[in-house]
Homo-oligomer: A and B are copies of this chain.
Amino acid sequence: MSKRRTTPVEPEFAEPHMCSTGTRLQILGRVPFFTGLPAEAIERINERFQDRGYNAGEMIYLAGEEAVRLYVVATGKVKLLRHTADGQEIMLDILTPGEHFGSLAALGDAVYPDTAQAHTGVCALSISAEDFRAILEAYPATALRVLDITGARLRDAQERVRQLSAYTVEQRIAAALLKLGEKLGEPHEEGLLIQMPLSREDLAAMTGTTTETASRTLRRFQNDGLINAGRQWVAIADREQLERLAATEAV
């Protein structure tokens, strides 16, 4: 087996990342909770949105700041993080184009409960919480879509609670890889390649363990032929086996 070490992951455009490509109208039309709205509604909504580019690693907002905007990923990947008192990072979610983050509530004194960081170069659209609230009031179908998405995220988070409560590190890493593979996987000679830079540290922050343990676990997986991995990338070679290991009953 060829031991490829250089990343097969395609870079997410050049950075500094710009939002220029295409009109925001096109992007907004593809956001899950706006689909189905009449074109003129989207046009009116579009006027309320701003766009902005972020370089990889750049913070979009910090936990504790006043929660005033709602964001939608246009291009790139966004990490949602929480920190512990001693600075350790917990990755709550990784968001891809079309997904939203930030403030849903129109209340004035709320703060962001988490930190949003551009994981790759990112273009994000954003709107003030009040304006978004007004849209939800004007278009009930959109509100229900947002509710569905939020409900799905809640179930995901609860599933993670279960995993952290009852599963071993090995099972959690297997489950995390499978979920990433489902969300970001692309067929590749190395296997189902997870299309984003993914360090051992990232994986540790996702599964509640340490870089060292993540590294050791990936090595074991690789030795057993379950995955192929290198610096900042992982590809799933044997999905069935990995699923058996994770003991995941499907969603």
B143, A147: Cβ atoms closer than 8 Å: yes
A142 CB to closest chain B CB, in angstroms?
Answer: 10
Copies of this chain, complex-wide, total: 2
A188 contacts B by Cβ under 8 Å: no
A154 contacts B by Cβ under 8 Å: yes
Supposing A144-B137, A144-B143 touch, asked if A114 and B165 sit within 8 A by C-beta, the answer is no
B161, A160: Cβ atoms closer than 8 Å: yes
Could you say which interface size class chain A belongs to?
35 or more
Q: What residue of chain B has the Cβ atom nearest to residue A85's Cβ? A: B247
A104 contacts B by Cβ under 8 Å: yes
Supposing A143-B143, A150-B150 touch, asked if A164 and B166 sit within 8 A by C-beta, the answer is no
B136, A166: Cβ atoms closer than 8 Å: no
A84 contacts B by Cβ under 8 Å: yes
The 0/1 profile, CB within 8 Å of B marked 1, for residues 78-116 of chain A is: 000010110010101000000000001100000001100
A3 contacts B by Cβ under 8 Å: no
Which A residues fall within an 8 A CB radius of B?
82, 84-85, 88, 90, 92, 104-105, 113-114, 133, 136-137, 140-141, 143-144, 146-148, 150-151, 153-155, 157-162, 164-167, 208, 247, 249
